[in-house]
Chains A and B, each alone.
Chain A
C-alpha cells in the first residue's frame, strides 16, 4: 500500500510578525493598503507637531520667525532631522490622500478586478512618491 505523497506547503493562518511577514510576498494593492494605515497612524502620532507648526506659523510674526528657525535646528535635533520628519509627514499625507482617492474610485466605479487593483495601486505609488520627491527636493533646498 502506497501512502499519498504529502507535499509540505507553508500555511498562513495567523501571520507572525517575525517569521512570516518577511517572507510573505504582498501584491502592490496590499502594500498600498497597509501603508494607508501606517501613514494614518504616523499622522495621528505627530498631530501635536502638525498643530504646533500651524500655531507658530500663524500666531504672530515673532512665532513665524521661530517656525522658520526650527528648520535650521532646534535643541538636540539638527535641521535635517526636523526636515526629515516634515518630509515623512508630507509622504504620509500624500500616500493617505492617494490611497483614499483610490478607495473613492473603487467605491464609485465598482472596478474590483485584479488588474485594476494592481494598476490603481501602482498609480497611487507614482502619485505619492513623485510628489514627495518634488516637495522633498524643495524642502532640502535642491531647487
Chain B
C-alpha cells in the first residue's frame, strides 16, 4: 500500500474516489425515482397502450427536462460503474486506458442519440 501521507505520498487527485461514490448514489436514486414515475404514468394509461398515450408521457416540457437529466445521470452512472470494473480486471494500465476510451466514446455516443430522440419530440 502506497503511503497517503508525508513527502513520499502518491499524488493522484485529491478526493480519492469520494466524488465517484457520491455521484454513483445520487444518479442511482434519480434513475430509480424516474423509473417509479414512468411506471406510475404507464399504469395510469387507460385501455391498451398506443403511440399517443406512450408519447404523451414525454410531451410536457418538465418531463423532457427531467428525462434529459436522467439520460445524463445514466451515462455518468454507467461511466463510474464501468471504470470501477475496469480498475479491477483490465490490466495492464495501457489496455485499461484503451478500454476506458472505448467506453467513453460508446457512452457519449449513446447519450447523444438518446438526447436527440428526446429533443425532437
Contacts and interface: CB of A to CB of B under 8 A. Distances in A.
Contact of A101 (B32, B51, B85, B103): B32
Interface stretch (A22-30, A53-61, A109-117): A53-61
A35 B58 CA distance: 32
Contacts of B28: 100, 104
A51 B114 contact: yes
Given A61-B51, A104-B29, A97 B35 contact: yes
B37 interface: no
A41 interface: yes
B65 interface: no
B100 to A, nearest CB: 13
B106 interface: yes
A59 B107 CA distance: 21
A54 B32 contact: no
- Chain A contact residues: over half helix, strand or loop, or mixed? helix
Contacts of A37: 81, 85
A127 interface: no
A108 B121 CA distance: 39
Interface residues of B, number: 23
A107 interface: yes
B104 to A, nearest CB: 12
A61 B56 CA distance: 12
A40 interface: yes
Nearest to A48: B110
User: A41, A51, A59, A103 — which one has the most chain B CB atoms within 10 A of its CB?
Assistant: A51
Contact of A54 (B50, B103, B114): B114
7 contacts: A37-B81, A41-B82, A48-B110, A51-B113, A58-B54, A104-B28, A107-B25
